[in-house]
Structure 1
């Protein structure tokens, strides 16, 4: 039986880590690759409004800066950004998000 107040790691990640990863990826795609918010929204399967919120740092929190400053995580985010741009997604976006999320949880949570 699950205790009240217990949250699995993926529950915590879905509320905090995944939005930060998406925000960091959106920021990279717009600021460093010159894509429009609309194009990034299409690539990530999100709305342009959500991307705008990420760019304005209304979502994702302080963790976004930590992700972009961490060399290893940034490298993986850049690799993912380049795969998205070149349409070379042999694995699903979810697979890549989970991979990055595991590293983030180990480092920052």
Structure 2
């Protein structure tokens, strides 16, 4: 199991994306954190970017399908990464297992 972390540009609708991923059973659940401020150092200057960050729970084997689905839906590349979920309760495990497509 993994947490899929999606850095969505402000012009995209995070709620619509979450709804689509849930309906396709690619993720079991998701949360949206709005107005996440990210900083980079580019060409000697501090650059500020604002994202809506989606954190979704899924199966590790679905990660590539999730990425492909998001990029197809939005028509562009998106910054996405995942972190492993190394321990869960039975309730959490059952939720991810039953709410996502079988592998």
TM-score (norm 1): 0.30
Flag the structure with more relative contact order, 1 or 2, with Cα contacts below 8 A and sequence separation at least 6: 2
Q: Which has the higher strand share?
A: 2
